[in-house]
Amino acid sequence: MAAPEEFDVVVLGMGPGGEVAASRLIDAGLNVAVVERELIGGECAYWACVPSKTLLRPAEVRSEADRAAGVRGAELDWADASDYRDGMIRHLDDAAQVKGYVDQGATVIKEAGRAVGPGRIRAGDRELAARHIIVATGTVPVVPELDGIDEITAWTNRETYTATTLPRRAIVVGGSAVGVETATFLSRFGVEVTLIHRGGSLLSREEPRVGELALKYLRESGIDVRLNASPHRARRDGEDSVLELESGDDDGASVAADVVVFATGRTPRTGGLGLESLGVELGRKGEVVVNRRCRAADGVWAIGDVTGKLPFTHVAKYQGRIVADAILGRGHEARYEGIPRVVFGIPEIAAVGLTEHDAGRRGLATRSVELDVAAALARPWTYERKPEAHLGLLADTDRRVLLGAWAVGPQAGEWIHYAALAIRAEIPLDVLRDQVAQFPTFHEAYLAALEKLEL
Ligand SMILES: Cc1cc2nc3c(=O)[nH]c(=O)nc-3n(C[C@H](O)[C@H](O)[C@H](O)COP(=O)(O)OP(=O)(O)OC[C@H]3O[C@@H](n4cnc5c(N)ncnc54)[C@H](O)[C@@H]3O)c2cc1C
Ligand SMILES: NC(=O)c1ccc[n+]([C@@H]2O[C@H](COP(=O)([O-])OP(=O)(O)OC[C@H]3O[C@@H](n4cnc5c(N)ncnc54)[C@H](O)[C@@H]3O)[C@@H](O)[C@H]2O)c1
Q: What's the confidence (pLDDT) of residue 251?
A: 58
- Do 99 and 116 share a domain, yes or no? yes
- Do 367 and 348 share a domain, yes or no? yes
Cβ of 178 below 6 Å from ligand 1: yes
- Domain closes at, from 305, 327, 349: 327
> How many angstroms separate the CA atoms of 302 and 11, rounded?
10
Q: Does residue 87 sit within a domain?
A: no
User: Which ligand is in closest contact with the Cα of 43?
Assistant: 1
**For residue 250, pLDDT beyond 80:** no
Taking CA atoms only, the protein residue closest to ligand 1 atom 40 is: 112
Taking CA atoms only, the protein residue closest to ligand 2 atom 41 is: 311
- Do 197 and 287 share a domain, yes or no? no
> How many angstroms separate the CA atoms of 291 and 393, rounded?
30
**For residue 353, pLDDT beyond 70:** yes
| pTM for the structure as a whole | 0.97
Domain count, the chain: 3
HSE (side-chain half, CA atoms, 13 Å) at 159: 15
Cβ of 345 below 6 Å from ligand 1: no
Q: What's the confidence (pLDDT) of residue 202?
A: 98
- Do 18 and 128 share a domain, yes or no? yes
Taking CA atoms only, the protein residue closest to ligand 1 atom 1 is: 48
- Do 19 and 135 share a domain, yes or no? yes
Band of residue 247 on the pLDDT scale cut at 50, 70, 90: low
DSSP string for 64-77: HHHHSTT-------
Q: Does residue 76 sit within a domain?
A: no
Cβ of 38 below 6 Å from ligand 1: yes
Q: What's the confidence (pLDDT) of residue 249?
A: 58
Q: Which domain CATH number covers 398?
A: 3.30.390.30
> How many angstroms separate the CA atoms of 338 and 98, rounded?
34
Q: What's the confidence (pLDDT) of residue 89?
A: 98
Cβ density class 411-439: b for 16+ within 10 Å, e for less: bbbbbbebbbebbbeebebeebeeeebee
- What percent of the chain clears pLDDT 70, i.e. is strictly above it? 99
Rounded to the nearest whole angstrom, what is the distance from the C-alpha of residue 263 to the centroid of ligand 2? 6
Q: Does residue 69 sit within a domain?
A: no
Rounded to the nearest whole angstrom, what is the distance from the C-alpha of residue 403 to the centroid of ligand 1? 28
Q: Which ligand 1 atom minimizes the distance to the CA of 304?
A: 26
Which residue would you say has higher pLDDT here, 170 or 1?
Answer: 170
- Do 135 and 158 share a domain, yes or no? no
Q: Ligand 1: which of 11, 35, 46, 49 to mutate, most ligand atoms within 8 Å of CB?
A: 49
- Do 209 and 317 share a domain, yes or no? no
Cβ of 342 below 6 Å from ligand 2: yes
- Do 280 and 369 share a domain, yes or no? no
Band of residue 252 on the pLDDT scale cut at 50, 70, 90: confident
Strand order across the beta sheet in which 169-173 lies: 154-155, 259-262, 169-173, 192-196, 224-226
Rounded to the nearest whole angstrom, what is the distance from the C-alpha of residue 203 to the centroid of ligand 2? 9
The whole-chain average pLDDT of the chain stands at: 97
Q: Ligand 2: which of 44, 143, 178, 202 to mutate, most ligand atoms within 8 Å of CB?
A: 178
Cβ of 178 below 6 Å from ligand 2: yes
Return the SS3 of 409: strand
- Do 160 and 238 share a domain, yes or no? yes
Rounded to the nearest whole angstrom, what is the distance from the C-alpha of residue 186 to the centroid of ligand 2? 17
**For residue 284, pLDDT beyond 80:** yes
Q: Does residue 334 sit within a domain?
A: no
**pLDDT tens-digit map of 366-404:** 999 999 999 999 999 999 999 999 999 999 999 999 999
Q: Does residue 88 sit within a domain?
A: no
Q: What is the ipTM of this complex?
A: 0.97
Tell me if the bond preceding 387 is cis, omega within 30° of 0.
no
Taking CA atoms only, the protein residue closest to ligand 2 atom 43 is: 311
Cβ of 304 below 6 Å from ligand 2: no
Alpha-carbon dihedral of residues 424, 430, 431, 432, nearest 10 degrees? 60
List the domain range (segments joined by +) for residue 135.
5-41+94-140+267-327
Check: CB of residue 343 under 8 Å from CB of residue 215: no
Q: Does residue 64 sit within a domain?
A: no
Burial class (CB in 10 A: 0-12, 13-18, 19+), 168: exposed
> How large is the average pLDDT for residues 42-47?
98
Q: Does residue 259 sit within a domain?
A: yes
Cβ of 316 below 6 Å from ligand 1: yes
- Do 158 and 217 share a domain, yes or no? yes
Q: Which domain CATH number covers 193?
A: 3.50.50.60
Cβ of 263 below 6 Å from ligand 1: no
Q: Ligand 1: which of 43, 85, 267 to mutate, most ligand atoms within 8 Å of CB?
A: 43
**For residue 290, pLDDT beyond 90:** yes
> How large is the average pLDDT for residues 162-191?
98
Q: What's the confidence (pLDDT) of residue 81?
A: 98
Q: Does residue 427 sit within a domain?
A: yes
Cβ of 16 below 6 Å from ligand 1: yes
- Domain closes at, from 264, 283, 315: 264
- Do 283 and 260 share a domain, yes or no? no
Nearest C-alpha neighbor of 139 from the set 24, 276, 47, 56 = 47
Rounded to the nearest whole angstrom, what is the distance from the C-alpha of residue 272 to the centroid of ligand 2? 24
**For residue 16, pLDDT beyond 70:** yes
Band of residue 246 on the pLDDT scale cut at 50, 70, 90: confident
Q: Ligand 1: which of 137, 155, 184, 307 to mutate, most ligand atoms within 8 Å of CB?
A: 137
Rounded to the nearest whole angstrom, what is the distance from the C-alpha of residue 295 to the centroid of ligand 2? 27
- Do 120 and 197 share a domain, yes or no? no
Other CB atoms within 10 A of residue 185 CB: 28
- Domain closes at, from 285, 304, 327: 327
